Amino acid sequence: MPPPSLSVAVIDANLVRAAILEDGLRAAGITSVTVICETANLLKKLVSLDPDVVIIDLEDPSRDVLEQMFQVSRLVQRPVAMFVDQSDGAMIQAAVDAGVSAYVVDGLKKERVKAIVDMAISRFNAFGRLTRELEQAKSELADRKIIERAKGILMKSRNLGEEEAYALLRKTAMRETRKLVEIARSVVTAAGLLG
């Protein structure tokens, strides 16, 4: 359940449809709702508002309008729920690629708004968590490669075994109160300068 302090920006040129969304949000206890009817300088308006969630409602979007909204989704780094009246496979794939958290076709009903906002927030948070985990795994893999290179350099230059080279790196890191990977980078850099 979203906190009452949640702020939502509703982007919709159709005031009747925007009112349905606004009513649904307010009925769900979300009181901070801003409706944006004009898409000129849209990113600037969104940056200024800094909403927690963005809802985009497009009655019959052209490809250009959809692409603009997908661009908004990529740049705002917030949960985005998009309502459209019609869609096709290419539009759905473009929405997913743009990071739209909820893409709802022909489903604008006041009663559904809260559940869709909750789902958009959950999916956005889950995707963010997965992205952070992926970046951490990539970083750890890169660190391991540097450590392996440093061990190889020490094994060759000092005629050490693999365990001895690792122990030397570890001992040096502890002595200098630095991370093991920092010492390994220093070894690789020094070897590059001397080699």
Per-residue model confidence (pLDDT) at position 28:
86
Domains of the chain, by residue range, sit at 7-132, 135-194
Q: Which residues of 158-179 are buried (b: 16+ CB within 10 A; e: fewer)?
A: eeeeeeebbebbeebbeeeeee
If one compares 1 and 60, the residue with the highest pLDDT of the two is 60
Please determine, for residue 111, whether its predicted confidence score (pLDDT) is greater than 90: no
What are the pLDDT digits (tens) for 55-69? 888 776 666 777 777
Q: Is the CATH number of domain 135-194 1.10.10.10?
A: yes
pLDDT of 2 reads 45
Chain mean pLDDT for the chain? 86
More confident residue, 83 or 88: 83
Q: According to the per-residue pLDDT averaged within each range, which of 47-51, 76-80, 158-162 is highest?
A: 158-162
- Asked whether residue 110 carries a pLDDT value surpassing 80, the answer given is no
CB atoms within 10 A of CB 63: 10
Quote the tokens at residue 117: 């906002």
Q: What is the per-residue pLDDT for 87?
A: 73
3-state SS, one letter per residue, for the chain: CCCCCCEEEEECCCHHHHHHHHHHHHHCCCCEEEEECCCCCHHHHHHHHCCCEEEEEECCCCHHHHHHHHHHHHHHCCCEEEEECCCCHHHHHHHHHHCCCEEEECCCCHHHHHHHHHHHHHHHHHHHHHHHHHHHHHHHHHHHHHHHHHHHHHHHHHCCCHHHHHHHHHHHHHHCCCCHHHHHHHHHHHHHHHC
Q: Residue 37: what are its φ and ψ, rounded to 5°?
A: -95, -25
Q: How far is CA 38 from the centre of its chain?
A: 26
**Which pLDDT does position 60 carry in this prediction?**
66
> What's the token pair of residue 51?
């909403």
Q: What is the pLDDT of residue 47?
A: 85
pLDDT beyond 70 at 4: no
Average pLDDT of the residues in 126-137: 91
The CATH architecture that domain 7-132 belongs to is 3-Layer(aba) Sandwich (3.40)
